[in-house]
Every structure is written in structure tokens, then in C-alpha cells.
Amino acid sequence: RVKVLEVPWALPPGLRWHPKDWWHGKRDGWCGPMDLVRLHVLGMKEYDAVVFYDQDVELQGDISAMLQCAASGRFLSASGSSGAALNVGFFAVRPDSRLLDAAELFASKVTFNDETGWSEA
């Protein structure tokens, strides 16, 4: 079963950082709205487990074992490309509204730097 939801934001409220040459409504130059809107999956607490897939993923086979694993409290993802620790094109998680709240708080408190990443991590 697929459920399509309208969500209240594509960028977290109070987001402190975006590229200097980008503005709300600009369609190129930054993937922030497309990337950050997926955070809403974290708050879908009416489900035992949820999965986010990018639009270029083709499902093949039964995903119930993955959902059961996520429902047990494990966060599932794949490694990212170019040395990134996380691939946000796929993840499975047991939803918890506190995770979404934490993401919104993080977005409102930190900035990004090309050399040091988010919050100088």
C-alpha cells in the first residue's frame, strides 16, 4: 500500500543555512528541498516501520524482513557515494516524532561549511 501525504514543509522551519546563490523557489543549484523533505518519514508514528526510497529505486522482491528489522528499532541505510557515510536515497526506520523534532531543532541551530560540514563536524 502506498500513501501520499502533503507535508507542512520542504525545508525545516527556521533553517539557518542554504547556499548564498540560492533562494526559496529557485529550481537549480541546491537539492536541499528535495533532500530535506524526506525527514518527514521520521515522524510517521502511525506506522511500525517506514521506508524512504529515491525515485530511481526499483523494488524487487519481498521487503517485509527489512520492515521487521526497522520496526525492531534499527536504522537501515546504505553507504553513500563519494565517501559519504550515509545514503539518504534509501533508509528504513521505526518512526519517532522525537527524531523529526531533533532534525528541525538541528536545522534551526547549525550552519554548514564546505570544509567542516554541518556544525563543524
93: closest CA among 84, 102, 106, 81? 102
pTM over 0.85, yes/no: no
Does the pLDDT value for residue 98 go beyond 70? yes
Mean pLDDT of the chain: 88
**pLDDT level of residue 83 (50, 70, 90 thresholds):** low
**Per-residue confidence (pLDDT) for residue 5, from 0 to 100:** 82
37 and 2 Cβ atoms separated by less than 8 Å: no
77 and 38 Cβ atoms separated by less than 8 Å: no
